[in-house]
Amino acid sequence: MKNKLYPALVGSFLLVASPGFAQTPQSTTTRMDSLFAGYNSQSPGLAVAVVRDGKIVFEKGYGMADLENNIPITPQTVFHVASVSKQFTAFSIYLLAGEGKISLEDDVRKYIPALPDYGKTIRIRHLLAHTSGLRDQWAILSLAGWRMDDVITTEQLLKLVTRQKGTNFPTGSAFSYSNTGYMLLAEIVHRVSGKKFRDYTSEMIFKPLKMNSTQFYDDHQQIVKNRADSYEKVNETYQHKRLNYANVGATSLLTTVEDLSKWVLNFENPVVGNPKLIAAFNSPSYLDNGQKIVYTVLDGDTIYHAKGQLLRHYRGVDMINHGGHDAGFRAFLARFPDQRFAYITLSNDESYNVLKNGMAITELYLGKELTAKRNNNSTSQNTSIKKSASYRADLKKFEGNYYNDELSTNYTIKVAGDKLILTHIRLSDVELNRNGETKFSGTGEQIFAFEIEFIINNSQQLSGFFISNFGAKNIRFNKVEDQH
């Protein structure tokens, strides 16, 4: 039977039968419908799939994949899943290592010789663990004046990354989430296998698992059937939030909740890989000093990093998960191995709350197996009143043109009223907030939040500034003479 759905049925259409599908009790279906009742024929939404005991027990779509053409979301809707892509990139590296074609201890420059020598060997395992110290590709693109809705290709990223003269920290000494590392891992797969990354993953993972609607998307002009569009709510109206990525590894996997269910089941009964490979893949990552990598602490739980995955002991049960967020897409895949339970949520709504809704699904299916929630009574508030500071340096002192060769870009800083304004030819002007004698911060619609510290020598001469954001630290811009 063809899956022919109409807008009037959005939010109420039922499950599409598929091999290995087991019906969820109506009470559970009703509660799931209630959880996502806010999505309808006038909004974007999400697709959900739940896997338990080796079968898909629930799959359904809520809201619209395409608001312009009144196309509803179904379990077969194709979504961009952002950083959920990373586990497939990491798994591809493990497949190559299992074949003896690479070693996780290999120097990355063995395969990408254009990458500078930063004084300490960056190994493949460092890329997998986010301990390379390499500046994040989105962070440096943002500082270089790129917008996240620009066409961004792997070729462009490689050119920019290999121009970077420094790292955020010595390799292996710390953890910092770096999309750059996973872009480079995909490039290593390409160069070692002799195949495009999308072709390698299709041949080695997606086809064997019959993930027929899944691909790494490396051509922003390619037509993909059943694909969801991306939306953001602005002033109570949904607008397109464009995405034109043509780069792979860190992101750009297109897939469905149905296909990701097949991926989840592969961890129980491997068709791709084997139990030994999967055990290594699911294990924590480590710093060079042997310390297990802590990703974050959330609700009292210490969350550790694995390879494109996060490890958490949530309310008495072990959880392996990862989320993704690009443009308006919000993705989340969570596995609970001991309970043989997993769920996937894929959304095209920028404001979709993956963690809140994900934990609600966990409660719905595993409620009896979960320990009580921790009481978090921390209500401490910072009641100190921020006093206005007076500074010696006149804002006029910081005016000028500044240039960085690694990013091939320049900024102009000027005074407007009692504020410093940062300008770039491709970005809207940014008003800088003063945080110290020579320290400022800012953010804008098209640029990630950043901090600037001006460089003033002992003779009180201004020579430039250091700029940092979430994934690029202390990039130096030098002040240049005005050209007339």
Is residue 359 packed enough to be buried (19+ CB in 10 Å), middle (13-18) or exposed (0-12)?
middle
Q: What is the pLDDT of residue 5?
A: 32
Range list of H helices, 66-196: 86-98, 124-129, 137-143, 154-161, 179-193
The residue count for the chain: 484
Are 57 and 22 spatial neighbours (Cβ–Cβ below 8 Å)? yes
Report the DSSP beta bridge partners of residue 342.
Answer: 51, 335
pLDDT of the chain along its 484 residues, tens only?
333 332 332 332 233 334 444 555 668 899 999 999 999 999 999 999 999 999 999 999 999 999 999 999 999 999 999 999 999 999 999 999 999 999 999 999 999 999 999 999 999 999 999 999 999 999 999 999 999 999 999 999 999 999 999 999 999 999 999 999 999 999 999 999 999 999 999 999 999 999 999 999 999 999 999 999 999 999 999 999 999 999 999 999 999 999 999 999 999 999 999 999 999 999 999 999 999 999 999 888 999 999 999 999 999 999 999 999 999 999 999 999 999 999 999 999 999 999 999 999 999 999 999 998 776 554 545 544 455 567 877 999 999 999 999 999 999 999 999 999 999 999 999 999 999 999 999 999 889 999 999 999 888 899 999 999 999 999 999 999 865 4
Cα-based distances in Å from 219 to 192, 196, 205, 225, 252? 21, 12, 20, 14, 10
Q: In the prediction, which pLDDT does 24 show?
A: 59
Q: How far apart are CA 152 and CA 86, in angstroms?
A: 18
Q: Are strands 447-456 and 439-444 parallel, antiparallel or unpaired?
A: antiparallel
Return the pLDDT at 23. 53
Q: How far apart (Å, rounded) are the C-alpha atoms in residues 227 and 78?
A: 4
Closest CA to 466 of 411, 387, 419, 429: 411
pLDDT computed for residue 2 by the predictor: 34
Is the pTM value of this prediction over 0.85?
A: yes
Sign of the alpha-carbon torsion through 396, 401, 405, 406: positive
**For position 250, what pLDDT does the model report?**
98
Rounded distance between C-alpha atoms, residue 248 and residue 188, angstroms: 12
Question: Can you give the pLDDT at residue 1?
Answer: 32
pLDDT of residue 4: 32
**Type and span of the H or E element at 46:** strand 46-52
**Which residue matches tokens 């390879």?**
307
Please report the domains of the chain, with CATH numbers, ordered by start residue: 80-369 (3.40.710.10), 395-480 (2.40.128.50)
